[in-house]
Amino acid sequence: EVEPEVRMEAYPVDAYPVHASVGNVAVNAAGDVAGAVAGDAAPGKVFRSYDDALPGVKEAYRKMRSLQSVEHVRMCHAKYCAPGSLGSVRMSIWEALATLDGFVDLSDPDTSLPNSVHAFQCAEGLRAACMPDWLQLTGLLHDLGKMVYLRGCDKDGTSMAEQWSIVGDTWVV
**Residue in 11, 23, 10, 8 with CA at minimum distance from that of residue 66:** 8
72 is in an annotated binding site: no
143 is in an annotated binding site: yes
**Residue in 85, 119, 105 with CA at minimum distance from that of residue 163:** 105
53 Cβ neighbours under 8 A, 6+ residues apart: 33, 109
Cβ contact 22:38 at 8 Å = yes
Q: Cα separation of 13 and 20, whole Å? A: 9
**Residue in 57, 51, 54 with CA at minimum distance from that of residue 37:** 51
118 is in an annotated binding site: yes
Binding site per annotation, positions for Fe cation: 118, 142-143
